[in-house]
Amino acid sequence: MLELTDRVAAVVGAASGIGQAIAIALAEQGAVVECADVDTTGVEETVAAIVAAGGTAKASTVDVRVSAEVDDLFARVVADRGRLDIAVGTPGINIRKPLIDYTDDDYTAVTDVNLRGSFHVLRGAGRIMAKQGGGSIIVISSISSRAVEPGQVIYAGTKAALAQMVRVLAAELGPAGVRVNAIAPGPVETALTVPIRSSAAWADAYAQKVAVGRWARPAEIAGPAVFLASDAATYVNGEVLFVDGGWVDLDAQFADESAVGSP
């Protein structure tokens, strides 16, 4: 049910991190993948990795903040392949500082990528998939859509807004056979989290918030994306799938191992 042979996918943000891992994972399951990103070198490296493993992929340069570029990307995919079965939007940025220290430029930088960019992906893919009568759209939210952390007001706000956008769009496009879902990762080893991981104490504090006691690898977010894109998830719509190792729903950790029951 997870097989994606001959499905046509477009992954926006495929040059690195979670987007790169998702593009590779979709290709491993047989999808034909259009890998797009503003980072031309990175996206070409992703395509090279897919092709070297026997997959089919093509590189495109796109700035997710520009609606015409996103629309043109999806139009090219349809022109080349005849349809668009899977669309994934992963770009996101964060500027960590208290709200009262935020500048107008800070606010614009974060919202332009996280909200405006995701809106462009949702709208562009949604228009095409509604006409063709089916498809799966996946975007990346965050545990910050529910978890509270000082210095995250604007980032958390965009990710919470995106979660609600997914739910409403799923209701709008569901009758046309289009599924819209989001993945909300916990701490993941990507370029976005380098400022945290560069501090051993800070990185360890994040790891200890997770039931499994460690950060996620990007590939561990790619598996859920494959699921949401596949026929295994044909009845999953309007969901925000938390892939956080147990961060959000676990309020406490056992400090005494003797208190933990043996299997």
Strand 8-12 and strand 240-243: the pairing is: unpaired
Category of 156 on φ-ψ map: left (φ > 0), alpha (ψ -120 to 50) or beta: alpha
Cα separation values, 181 from 89, 167, 174, 176, Å: 11, 7, 11, 15
- Helix ranges, 15-152 (H): 17-28, 40-52, 67-81, 104-111, 118-132
First to last CA, the chain: 31
- How far is Cα 140 from Cα 163, in angstroms, rounded to an integer? 9
Residue closest to 11 by CA, chosen among 36, 42, 41, 30: 36
- How far is Cα 65 from Cα 158, in angstroms, rounded to an integer? 14
Give yes or no for a contact between 260 and 252, defined as CB atoms under 8 angstroms apart. no
Q: How many CB atoms are closer than 10 A to CB 36?
A: 33
Q: Annotated catalytic residue: which of 107, 155, 206, 235?
A: 155
Give yes or no for a contact between 260 and 254, defined as CB atoms under 8 angstroms apart. yes
User: Does 155 qualify as catalytic in the annotation?
Assistant: yes
Give the residue numbers marked as catalytic.
155
